[in-house]
Amino acid sequence: MLRRKALAAAVALVAAAGTVVGVNTADAATYPNPGVVTGSINVHDPGIVKKPDGTYLIAHTGNNITLKTSTDRTAFRDAGVAFPSGASWTTSYTGGSANLWAPDISYRNGKYFMYYAASTFGSNHSAIFLATSSTGASGSWSNQGLVIESVTSDNFNAIDPNLYVDPSGRWWLSFGSFWSGIKQVQLNTSTGKRLDSTIRSIAGRGGGAIEAPFLFRHGSYYYLYVSFDLCCRGASSTYRIMVGRSTSVTGPFVDKNGTAMTSGGGSEILAGHGSIHGPGGQSVFTDSDADVLVYHYYADNGAARLGINLIGYDSSGWPYVY
């Protein structure tokens, strides 16, 4: 995906990875390896949806958004790109590149919704767009236009979108990277666009390395998953997956120690270990066997790979990966 950072601030923040005050970290030796996946597994920032027919569709960062499918959540195959004719409406944000980032994909009301980002590395001149499709297939996606943008004078970065529909039927879009952190806006349920001008802050690290929010409900809690530290450096990447929770969809989200995620809090549930480097860019969904964590990581040779693990919950309701 090649995420766009305020690099100088990030390097200073994570020079000693895992030592940020207020952040819970676990023993990386206890983390499981990704589950077995085969076939076309070179991905970055995977978004995933289980289709009504029981098959799986992944959309991920790539030229014109890359698609993959699977019948069993193990063997994946290429399925083309979302926009085979290009996405000309995004190029003023990408500098002319076809590379589009971090798609979030879901199926609602008989239609597929995909929010995705357009930007350049290190810049917050960025935009989140919406596309819809009746099938999810390559070439079937229709541009629904701009949802939110950020410009260089803004204190946020409009990338890494995630749609969450709460039990009351309200739509929320979480997004963000670096700058002042993770933001949230409410969407109009009819259009999928912004409902009002309110922008909420739901997580941050004082301008440092946080991105890729994903909001997910389990039991009585809303869990906010994010990626800390640095991606896009191959086997040198320090990405790790963190989580906090709240009883409200808009927060405040806190970690296991009670530290607010707006103050740098977050409990680590997966980090690099052995030949698994920089896991992050995560999505979560409920399948027939368990809640499932889908993410990318880097192999020893620097290639980005698909990671899939199951999620369990401890006696206090905190998620862990297995």
Active-site positions?
45, 211
Instruction: Find out whether 126 and 93 touch, Cβ atoms under 8 Å.
Output: yes
Instruction: Find out whether 1 and 103 touch, Cβ atoms under 8 Å.
Output: no
CB neighbours of 179 closer than 8 A, spacing ≥ 6? 6, 124, 154, 155, 156, 157, 207
Question: What value, to the nearest 5°, has the Cα angle with vertex 103 and ends 241 and 198?
Answer: 85
Amino acid identity, residue 28? A
184 vs 247: CA distance, rounded Å: 16
Q: How far is CA 244 from the centre of its chain?
A: 15
Coil, strand or helix: which one is 13? helix
